Chain A
Amino acid sequence: MLQSLMHIQTNRDGVVSRRSFLRSVAVGAAGLGILGWKEAVALQAAELRKQGMACILLFMRGGPSQLETFDPKPGTEHGGPTTAISTAVNGIQVAEHWPSVAKAMNDIALIRSMTSREGEHVRATYQLHTGYAPSGSVKYPSIGSIAAAELGKPDFDLPHFVSIGSRNVIGSGFLGMSVAPFIVANAAKMPNNVQLPRKVDAQRFGRRLDLMRDLEQDFAKSGGSARVDEHKALYGSASRMVLSPRLKAFDISQEKDAVRDLYGRTPFGQGCLLARRLVEQGVTFVEVESNGWDTHQDNFDRVKKLSGVVDPGFGTLVADLKVRGLLERTLVIWLGEFGRTPRINPRTGRDHFPRAFNVALAGGGIKGGHVIGATSADAMDVKERPVKVPDLFCTFCQALKIDPRKTNVSTGGRPIKIVDGGEAVKELFT
C-alpha cells in the first residue's frame, strides 16, 4: 500500500511527516483536509502532475449583459440601440465596442446558451467560481484553487493561484492555505511586502532566516515542534517567493510601453498583462476582475465604457498568448455571475438574468471560431443546447485535463467531487 507513495519524503526511520507529506505531495489530489486512507493510497505522482496547463479567468463582476457583449440582437426591441459588428469569423457577430475580441474570434468560442437559477450576486458569484451553490457546512474551493491543487508543481516558487483586482475573492475553501489565492490589489505595482525591505539584501535575508531557524530549536524541542514545522514550511514558501528570480513577473514596468498600451492602461488591462506574465513564468491560475457590470440603470453608456476597458484586455491577451505559443496550454475564460434582462427597464437599464447568458472561452484546446447554443430571437430563453454551470465546469476540467469526478475530502470528512454532475461541452474540443 505504501509502495505506491514513491515520491513522499521519508526520514531514515522510513516514516513520513504528515505536514511534509501534505506540502510536498498533496498540493494535489489528497486534499488538505482530513485525508482518507483510500485517497492516500491512490496517489501516483506521475498521474497527478499534468505538465504545464494553466488558466486565466476574466471575471466580470455584476453580471455582464449578453446583449451588449457576445449575443447581440440588433434591430429588435430587446436588443435596444446596440448594433453588431462582424468578426474575423464569417457568420459570427458580437456587439459593437468589442473590436479586439472580434479580431481574435478565430481563437475564441462563445457559449450563448448558459443557463442557471441563481439571480443573486453573492450566491451566483460563488456558484460561478466553485461550481456549487453555497452551503453552510462545506466551504467549496474556487476553480482557481482546484487547478492549483491539481496542476501546480509542488516545488514551484511562486503562488499557484493569483487573484488580481478583486476585493472579494472566492478562496480555497477546504483545500487550505497552500492553494489559497495570492491577492494582488494593483497590477501596476509590485505586491505588498514581497520585496525585501531597505538595507536587507538576499544574503542578509538568508542569514536572518537561518538565524530564526537556529533560535527556534529549543522551543521546538520542548514541545513546539509541530507548530515550528508548519511555520518553517510557510516561511520556506514565502521566502522562496521573495528570493525567486521569477518574482519579476509581477513587475509589469518591464514590459514595453507599446505592449502595455495595447492591453490598455487601465487596472483591468494591466491585470491581463500581468496574468500573461505570470502564466508565462509557470503560475497555474490567474483571475483578473472587472467590476461594475451590474447595470440596473444606464446600461448602454456604462457597458460602452466597460467594454472599452475589457475588450482591449481580453482581445490582446488572447492574441498575445497565441503569438508566444502559450495559447494551447492556457485556458482563457471570460464570464460573469449571470446575464441581464432582455427587457430594458425604465431607467435604461437591465436587471439580473441567469436564465440565458453567455460565456467566452479560448485556448486550452478549445476550438476557436465556434458558437455553442443559441438564445431565442427575443433573448428570453435558451433555444438550443443549454449549458448549465456543472457542464461549464466539466468543460473547464476537460480543457485543463483535470478529472471532474475526482473527490477531495472536506474538513468535515465529506468526500466532495470536483464537479457534481454535468457533462463537458464536447463540441468545443477537436
Chain B
Amino acid sequence: MTHHMTTTKRARLLPVLAIGLLSAWAVTAPSSDAGPPNKKRPAFQAANKPIAPLPPASALLTEQDWQKAPMTPLQPGEIDALVSKELQSTKLQPADLTTDEQFIRRATLDLTGQLPKPADVDQFVADQDSGKRARLIDRLLAGDAYARHWARYWRDVITARLPSLPGGQVLALSFEQWMFGQLKSDQGWDKVARAMITAKGQLRFDEPGKNGAAFFLAAHRGKDAADERAAETSRIFLGIQIQCAQCHDHPSDQWKRVQFHELAGYFARLRERPIRNPKNKKMMVGGIELVSAPRGEHEMPTKEDPKKTLLTPPRFLNGKGPGNNATDLQRREALAREITSKSNYWFAGAHVNRVWGVLMGQAFYEPVDDMGPHKEAIFPSVLTRLTGAFRGSGYDVKRLIRDIMNSQTYQRQIRPSEPTEHLHFAAVYPSRLPTDALWQSLVNALGDFGRPNQQQLMRLQARTPEQAKKMAEAKKRAQAGKRPFFQNPLEALFKQEFSFDPSLKPDDIEGSITQVLLLMNNPVINQRIQARGPTVLAQVLKKYPEDDAALRTLYMRTLARKPTDREVEKCKDYIAKAGDRAEAFEDILWALLNSTEFQTKR
C-alpha cells in the first residue's frame, strides 16, 4: 500500500534534502523472502538504488476543467486511453490483465460483497465467449446482492462519523433498506441525495425500512445537530470537509468560518425528537421524528467572544441563498437544488471519486471525502471525463460502475510495489474487504452460524403468553426487515470488531489486536474448523480422500481460487509432517481463514 504524498500542499513542500529520507521510507518488507520476484540486488548496488518512481502529477481543478469535459456516454476504451496518456511520461508498463479466475473473484466481491461460488468460477473460466466479463458485470449489477452491498457501503459511510448511533443498529438498518430500494430501482444519485436532504417525518422501530432516507438527518441531535448535518452533507455529497472551518478559517483550504455557518443555516429550523409510545411502558421511545420549527436562525459564535453570536442565514458555498425567512422545507429543498445543480461539479465528482476509489483501491483525491477547489487531484483528465459522463447520464450509478469495471484499467492485476510507491493506476491496489463481506466469506467457508445452540434455544422459548406475544411481534419485525429473527451473537461481535470507516485513506485503516484474537482463537469459529463433526471440513475430507482435491476445494471455498503449485507443495509437506491428516487440514483451514488474502480484495 503506497504512501500517498502529493495530495497535500504540505507534502509538496518537501525540500530536496528530504529525498534522502524518502529513500529511507522507500523500501522494504522485513519478511524473509518477500520482495519483487526475479530481482536480485547485490550489496554493492545499494548505493545506486533508484528512488521509488515519483508520485503521479496532480493538479487543482477549475470550473473550466470540469466544464470542458464532455458529458457524452463513455466509449469503449476511452478510460484506458486517458489513463494511458497520463502514463506516458512515467514509462510505466501497465500490469497484465487479471486471469478469469482473478477477475470473477474481484468483480463478484466489488459488486456483491460475496465470493463467487466454486461452480461459477469453473464455469466462468471455461466459458469461451469473449464478452463474458461484460456479461458477468451486467448479471451481477442486476441482482439484489449488488444493491444490498452498496447500500451497506453508504450506511457505513454515514454511521462511521456519527457521534452516537441513536436507535442502535435498527435505524441504520432502515436506512440500508431504503438505500437498497433506491439502488435496486436505479434512482439517479441526484434523486437519492435530494431524498436524504429533504427528508421529513418519522423513522419508526416498528416499521423498518420505511422512510429510511430520514436517518441521514435524524441521526444527529442536540444543539450541534445543525452543524453536524451541514458538515456531513458537505462531506458526503460534495467531498468537501468544511467542518474544519467551524471554529476558524480552514487551515489548508480557503473556506471561511462564516461559510460553514451559512451552510448550517440551511438546517436551522430542523429539529428531531423521539417518538413517544405512551401506551407502551417497556419501550417508551418508538423511533425518531424530524420536525420543522416555525422560526429561528443559525447562530455563529463570534471569535472574539464565543458567548456572543451572529445570525447566519443560509447561503450556499457559491453565495446563493433561499431568501429571507425561508421555512425549514424551503431551505432544504433549496440546498438540495444547489447541491444537485448541473453547475455543481463537486457533487458528481465526489461520487465518481468514491466509486473509483472503491473499485481501484485508490481514488483521485485521497481521502475520498476530502476534495475541493483547493485540493489537488491525480489523473484529473480521467476524473473530469468520468464526471462529465456521470452528469450526462442523469447521475446513473450503475452505468458509472459498469463503465469503470469494463475498462482494462480496472481489470488489471495487482502488482508488487514498494510501500511508498504509487501505482499510477497501471495496476489495481489490493484493498480491505468491508465488514459484511468478510463475515459473508467466513460463513461461506464454515457454513451458516445462524442456528442457535441448546442454551440459546431455551432462552428463545416463550414461557408466558405475554412473552409469546412479544416474541411474535419481534419475529414479525425481523421478517419485515428481512433480518433473521435470531442474530448469532458471534455475528454481532464480529461485525463490531471488524467495522471500519470506508472514507478513510486505505493506509489509515488498521487492524486491531482484538480482531486478530477473534479470528485466531474464538471457540465458536474454532469448533467449526474441526475436521470431525457436522462441519464443512469433515464433509470435504470425506468426499475428497485425495489431498490435492481436498486442498483445491478448501482454497476455492475460502479464497475462490486454486492453490498455486508452491502452496500445494507446502501444504502437502505440512500434512506429511503432521502425521494426522485431519489435524493437518484443520491447521490449513485455520491458516487460510487467518490469512491476509482472506480479508483482501485483490
Which positions in A face B, CB cutoff 8 Å?
Answer: 1-2, 5, 9, 11-20, 33, 37, 40-41, 122, 135-137, 159, 176-178, 180, 182-183, 192-198, 200, 204, 207-208, 211-232, 234-235, 237-239, 241-242, 411-414
Determine whether the beta carbon of B46 is less than 8 Å from that of A12.
yes
Residue of B nearest to A231 (CB): B596
**Residue among A192, A212, A215, A241 facing the most chain B CB atoms (10 A cut-off):** A215
With a CB–CB cut-off of 8 A, which chain B residues contact A5? Answer: 24
Nearest-Cβ distance from residue B243 to partner chain A, whole angstroms: 4
With a CB–CB cut-off of 8 A, which chain A residues contact B521? Answer: 193-197, 242
Nearest-Cβ distance from residue B16 to partner chain A, whole angstroms: 12
Known: A137-B243, A211-B574. A234 touches B513 (CB 8 A): yes
With a CB–CB cut-off of 8 A, which chain A residues contact B420? Answer: 18
B283 contacts A by Cβ under 8 Å = no
Known: A223-B413, A230-B511. A137 touches B241 (CB 8 A): yes
* Selected interface stretch from B30-38, B168-176, B310-318, B393-401: B30-38
Determine whether the beta carbon of B430 is less than 8 Å from that of A224.
yes
Determine whether the beta carbon of B414 is less than 8 Å from that of A224.
yes
Q: Pull 28 A–B residue pairs with CB atoms less than 8 Å apart, ordered by A.
A: A1-B21, A13-B27, A20-B30, A37-B21, A41-B21, A122-B164, A193-B517, A194-B517, A195-B521, A204-B587, A214-B570, A215-B570, A215-B571, A217-B31, A222-B602, A223-B415, A225-B35, A228-B29, A228-B31, A229-B31, A230-B510, A231-B511, A232-B596, A234-B511, A238-B516, A242-B521, A412-B244, A413-B8
Determine whether the beta carbon of A224 is less than 8 Å from that of B427.
no
In the assembled complex, the Cα of A197 lies from the Cα of B528 at a distance in Å of 12
> Contacting A216 at CB < 8 Å: which of B526, B574, B596?
B596
In the assembled complex, the Cα of A413 lies from the Cα of B232 at a distance in Å of 21
With a CB–CB cut-off of 8 A, which chain A residues contact B564? Answer: 218
Residue of A nearest to B243 (CB): A136
In the assembled complex, the Cα of A411 lies from the Cα of B594 at a distance in Å of 28
B319 contacts A by Cβ under 8 Å = no
With a CB–CB cut-off of 8 A, which chain A residues contact B228? Answer: 136
In the assembled complex, the Cα of A211 lies from the Cα of B577 at a distance in Å of 12
With a CB–CB cut-off of 8 A, which chain B residues contact A208? Answer: 587, 590-591, 594
Determine whether the beta carbon of A220 is less than 8 Å from that of B590.
no
> Contacting B1 at CB < 8 Å: which of A207, A214, A226?
A226
Determine whether the beta carbon of B566 is less than 8 Å from that of A414.
no
> Contacting A182 at CB < 8 Å: which of B414, B419, B513?
B513
Known: A37-B21, A137-B243, A204-B587. A219 touches B511 (CB 8 A): no
B84 contacts A by Cβ under 8 Å = no
Determine whether the beta carbon of B29 is less than 8 Å from that of A17.
yes
Determine whether the beta carbon of B18 is less than 8 Å from that of A18.
no
With a CB–CB cut-off of 8 A, which chain A residues contact B31? Answer: 213, 217, 220, 225, 228-229, 232
B246 contacts A by Cβ under 8 Å = yes
Residue of A nearest to B3 (CB): A18
With a CB–CB cut-off of 8 A, which chain B residues contact A15? Answer: 23-24, 26-28, 49
- Which residues of B, 263-300, contact A by the 8 Å Cβ criterion? none
With a CB–CB cut-off of 8 A, which chain A residues contact B587? Answer: 204, 207-208, 211
Nearest-Cβ distance from residue B78 to partner chain A, whole angstroms: 26
> Contacting B247 at CB < 8 Å: which of A19, A135, A228?
A135
Determine whether the beta carbon of B30 is less than 8 Å from that of A11.
yes
Nearest-Cβ distance from residue B14 to partner chain A, whole angstroms: 7
With a CB–CB cut-off of 8 A, which chain A residues contact B567? Answer: 215, 218
In the assembled complex, the Cα of A132 lies from the Cα of B33 at a distance in Å of 45
**Residue among B241, B512, B566 facing the most chain A CB atoms (10 A cut-off):** B512
Per CB-CB distance, the 10 closest pairs between chain A and chain B, nearest first, are A223-B414, A197-B526, A226-B1, A238-B516, A212-B591, A193-B517, A177-B510, A231-B596, A136-B243, A13-B46
Instruction: Please tell me the size bucket of the interface on B.
Output: 35 or more
> Contacting B588 at CB < 8 Å: which of A14, A182, A211, A229?
A211
With a CB–CB cut-off of 8 A, which chain A residues contact B17? Answer: 1
With a CB–CB cut-off of 8 A, which chain A residues contact B600? Answer: 219, 224, 227
Determine whether the beta carbon of B510 is less than 8 Å from that of A19.
no
Residue of A nearest to B523 (CB): A197
B595 contacts A by Cβ under 8 Å = yes
With a CB–CB cut-off of 8 A, which chain B residues contact A200? Answer: 526
B231 contacts A by Cβ under 8 Å = yes
Known: A194-B521, A219-B595, A239-B520. A17 touches B27 (CB 8 A): yes
Residue of B nearest to A204 (CB): B587
Determine whether the beta carbon of A11 is less than 8 Å from that of B28.
yes
In the assembled complex, the Cα of A198 lies from the Cα of B530 at a distance in Å of 10
With a CB–CB cut-off of 8 A, which chain B residues contact A178? Answer: 510
Known: A15-B24, A414-B251. A217 touches B523 (CB 8 A): no
Determine whether the beta carbon of A40 is less than 8 Å from that of B46.
no
- Which residues of B, 386-420, contact A by the 8 Å Cβ criterion? 413-417, 419-420
B43 contacts A by Cβ under 8 Å = yes
Determine whether the beta carbon of B14 is less than 8 Å from that of A228.
no
Known: A197-B526, A215-B591. A228 touches B596 (CB 8 A): yes
With a CB–CB cut-off of 8 A, which chain A residues contact B592? Answer: 215
In the assembled complex, the Cα of A197 lies from the Cα of B590 at a distance in Å of 12
With a CB–CB cut-off of 8 A, which chain B residues contact A19? Answer: 29, 419
With a CB–CB cut-off of 8 A, which chain A residues contact B139? Answer: none
With a CB–CB cut-off of 8 A, which chain A residues contact B231? Answer: 136
With a CB–CB cut-off of 8 A, which chain A residues contact B30? Answer: 9, 11, 17, 20, 229
In the assembled complex, the Cα of A177 lies from the Cα of B49 at a distance in Å of 33
B514 contacts A by Cβ under 8 Å = yes
Residue of A nearest to B227 (CB): A136
Nearest-Cβ distance from residue A242 to partner chain B, whole angstroms: 7
In the assembled complex, the Cα of A9 lies from the Cα of B510 at a distance in Å of 21
Given contacts A193-B517, A231-B599, A234-B510, 19 further A-B contacts (CB under 8 A): A1-B20, A11-B30, A15-B24, A15-B27, A137-B244, A180-B512, A193-B514, A195-B521, A216-B597, A217-B566, A220-B29, A220-B596, A222-B413, A224-B602, A225-B29, A228-B31, A231-B595, A238-B517, A241-B513
Nearest-Cβ distance from residue B221 to partner chain A, whole angstroms: 11
Determine whether the beta carbon of A212 is less than 8 Å from that of B27.
no
B508 contacts A by Cβ under 8 Å = yes
Known: A193-B517, A234-B513. A222 touches B414 (CB 8 A): yes
In the assembled complex, the Cα of A232 lies from the Cα of B597 at a distance in Å of 12
